[in-house]
Amino acid sequence: MHLTGNHVFAAPPEKVWALLMDTPTLAKLVPGITSLELVEENKYKALLGVKLGPVNANFVGHLQLEDLKPPHSFTMKVQQNSKVGNAAATIGIGLQSVDGKQTEVSFEGDVRLSGMLATMGQRLIGSVAQTLSKQFFQNLEKEL
């Protein structure tokens, strides 16, 4: 499934970038993360809980930040595993200065599901992804 979205924040790109690169803040920003532990530079062990319709799924896996071009862009790679299936995502995140005082944060990427999650989740993943994206942007807005 292909995902895209964007939001403008009342902060310069350097401030938004700093929040996205801070481990405790990143854990608060990404919806569903219950634990985010830095295991090596830009690579994290992540525990995640997401509700997909009637199923609560707990995932264990990794989140990795790659291709860092401060304060303009990076790629987030996620691999999560659970009893109901697995999820893998590669998402490009861009930060663009709007007027030196604002930043447009945009993302574009693909998510691949497997197992029961893929069978059941295809009907729900679109609306869940929209909800999670909205929550991420709201969380970032609060942190700023």
Which residues have C-beta within 8 Å of that of residue 127, sequence separation ≥ 6? none
The domains found in the chain, sorted by start residue, are 2-143 (3.30.530.20)
Q: How much is the pLDDT for 122?
A: 61
**Other beta carbons less than 10 A from residue 41's beta carbon:** 7
Round to whole Å and give the CA distance between 120 and 83.
13
Q: By the 8 A CB rule, do 80 and 74 touch? A: no
pLDDT profile of the chain (144 residues), mean per 10: 92 96 93 92 92 79 96 96 89 95 95 80 69 90 94
pLDDT digits (tens, 9 = 90+) for 66-104: 999 999 999 999 999 998 889 899 999 999 999 989 999
Tell me how far the alpha carbon of residue 93 is from its chain's centroid.
Answer: 9
Residue from 116, 121, 137 nearest 53 by CA? 121
